[in-house]
């Protein structure tokens, strides 16, 4: 695909000469000092995802998002708006709530101060015992800024951060044809892992590893770097658009059942009508677009209504700097989020949220790169310890479970005296870009600030 389809704000994500070429010192993967710099200059500045809007339906519903040693509450107000607060009592700092729930007010377990949903102190014992003045109606919990996009609830601790839409630029515009708010979270999975959080930023910023680590993917999503489009945006976000057809370099042995055949059949196309594999991959892919455009309504794929040719079949994958990835496909919206451990630079947490669109008559969902079906209904949080893979055995069919197997080895490798610096291919340019934007934050010069 040629570059004239690139977004006007995008730099080519295949061209390392667009970048400064900063060194990527390996200490950033295990140094406590670098972890402290990240807290100060990165995590306090960015927009975080707290959860999904569906978790905040009624006034009083709230999400607690713990991030390193910080914790925030995002609460639905009586007027339907959202407000966010630090989860620390204004009396003497006790943590107010520990988990997502629904309450009329926040009652501090220490001395019984009662904070309203709007963060204003509603009541406290012995109100007349304050020589400096009655705190009721006067003191408020300290706020964080809250906004929403894609059915997701976001917040930032930084009063100076750009507005969410500007921070995400041009993400909101890129996916305006999708209806993310209508999706159902069919899988809500969080795993604690041994390894620095940037493992995931690096891993998700290249597809060079896919053939080795995820051999099941190329037959269904073309992994060839020369047929894919790579974009790097000014705010630090990177994306790749891969074609939703088999890679011609990853032909399965003749006679093997092919997952692309099943996809064609779903859309009433006979996979045996093509003379050879190449024609099926290339012409079948075009026929698939046509079939989806003419049959979406009658087959109940109402969320296809505004999707264009590219969006109907291709596989976009975007890293939202620094710790979120999204895959906004035609049939699903996957969100991954990875977060540092509060104190140990060699531990992290990893979340996968699989969101699927409801299709009439469909009760199960299976992601195109996975095997196991998932019930098409809202899932509960499933917390896991990785434990050398034993803790996530039910998820072993998921692509990211294959990535998880690599963290332990790379974590040791980063500490080895034998490893000096990465030596990267052009198709790993987005990895380099990630580190340069990280350096900008650490140096107090994040993009998009005056």
Assess 202 for contact with Fe ion (CB under 5 A): no
Whole-number minimum distance, CB 93 to ligand FES, in Å? 6
Among 3, 78, 110, 137, binds ligand FES (CB under 6 A): 110
Question: What is the residue-wise DSSP string for 92-127?
Answer: T------S-EE-SEEE-TTT--EEETTSBEEE-TTG
DSSP class of residue 141 equals P
Host H or E run for residue 313: helix 309-313
Residue 168 found at the interface with ligand FES (CB under 6 A): no
CA 206, CA 427: separation in Å to the nearest integer?
A: 7
Q: Of 85, 86, 106, 113, which lies in the binding site for ligand FES, with binding defined by CB under 6 A?
A: 113
Asked if 326 is part of the footprint of ligand FES (rule: CB under 6 A), the reply reads no
Minimum gap (Å) between residue 434 Cβ and ligand FES: 40
From residue 107, how far is each of 110, 249, 426 by CA, in Å?
9, 61, 55
Backbone angles phi, psi at 441, to 5 degrees: -60, -50
* Residue 108 engages ligand FES in binding (rule: CB under 6 A): yes
Nearer to Fe ion, 212 or 416 (CB): 212
By CB under 6 A, tell whether 94 contacts ligand FES: yes
* DSSP classification of residue 7: -
Find the shortest distance in angstroms from Cβ 230 to Fe ion: 16
Among 61, 169, 403, 428, binds Fe ion (CB under 5 A): 403
* Contacts of ligand FES in 411-450 (CB under 6 A): none
Site for ligand FES contains 68 (CB under 6 A): no
Q: Which H/E stretch holds residue 168?
A: helix 164-168
Nearer CB in complex with ligand FES: 124/431: 124
Tell how strand 61-67 and strand 184-194 pair up: unpaired
Region near ligand FES per CB under 6 A, out of 45-53, 108-116, 149-157, 339-347:
108-116
The DSSP code sequence of 11-62 is EETT-GGGS------GGGGT-HHHHHHHIIIIITTSEEEEEEGGG--STTEE
Stretch that binds Fe ion, among 165-173, 271-279, 366-374, 402-410 (CB under 5 A): 402-410
Among ligand FES, Fe ion, none, residue 403 binds (CB under 5-8 Å by kind): Fe ion
Q: Which residues bind Fe ion (CB under 5 A)?
A: 403
Q: Which residues bind ligand FES (CB under 6 A)?
A: 89, 91-94, 108, 110-113
């Amino acid at each position: 695909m040629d570059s004239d389809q690139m977004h006007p704000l995008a730099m080519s994500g295949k061209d390392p000469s667009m970048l400064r070429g900063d060194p990527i010192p390996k200490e950033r993967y295990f140094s406590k000092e670098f972890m402290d710099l990240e807290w100060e200059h990165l995590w306090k500045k960015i927009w975080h995802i707290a959860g999904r809007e569906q978790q905040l339906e009624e006034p009083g519903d709230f999400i607690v998002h713990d991030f390193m040693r910080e914790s925030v509450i995002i609460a639905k107000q009586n007027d339907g708006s959202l407000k966010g607060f630090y989860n620390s009592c204004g009396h003497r700092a006790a943590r107010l709530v520990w988990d997502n729930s629904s309450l009329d007010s926040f009652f501090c377990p220490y001395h019984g101060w009662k904070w309203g949903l709007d963060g204003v102190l509603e009541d406290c014992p012995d109100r007349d015992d304050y020589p400096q003045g009655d705190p009721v109606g006067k003191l408020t919990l300290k706020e964080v800024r809250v906004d929403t996009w894609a059915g997701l609830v976001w917040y930032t601790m930084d009063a100076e951060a750009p507005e969410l839409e500007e921070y995400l630029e041009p993400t909101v515009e890129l996916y305006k044809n999708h209806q993310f708010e209508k999706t159902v979270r069919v899988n809500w999975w969080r795993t604690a892992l041994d390894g620095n959080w940037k493992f995931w930023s690096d891993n998700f910023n290249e597809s060079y590893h896919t053939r080795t680590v995820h051999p099941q993917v190329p037959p269904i999503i073309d992994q060839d770097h020369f047929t894919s489009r790579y974009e790097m945006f000014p705010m630090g976000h990177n994306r790749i658009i891969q074609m939703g057809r088999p890679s011609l370099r990853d032909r399965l042995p003749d006679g093997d059942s092919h997952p692309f055949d099943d996809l064609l059949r779903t859309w009433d196309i006979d996979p045996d009508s093509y003379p050879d594999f190449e024609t099926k991959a290339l012409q079948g892919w075009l026929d698939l677009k046509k079939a989806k455009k003419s049959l979406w309504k009658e087959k109940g794929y109402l969320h296809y209504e505004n999707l264009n040719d590219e969006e109907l079949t291709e596989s976009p994958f975007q890293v939202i700097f620094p710790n979120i990835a999204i895959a906004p496909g035609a049939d699903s919206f996957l969100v991954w989020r990875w977060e540092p451990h509060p104190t140990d630079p060699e531990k992290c947490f990893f979340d996968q949220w699989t969101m699927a669109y409801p299709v009439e008559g469909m009760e199960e969902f299976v992601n195109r790169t996975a095997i196991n079906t998932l019930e098409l209904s809202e899932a509960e949080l499933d917390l896991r310890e990785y434990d050398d893979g034993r803790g996530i055995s039910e998820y072993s069919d998921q692509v990211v479970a294959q990535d998880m197997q690599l963290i332990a080895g790379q974590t040791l490798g980063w500490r080895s005296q034998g490893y000096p610096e990465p030596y990267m291919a052009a198709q790993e340019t987005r990895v380099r870009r990630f580190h340069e934007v990280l350096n900008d934050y650490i140096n107090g010069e994040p993009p998009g600030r005056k």
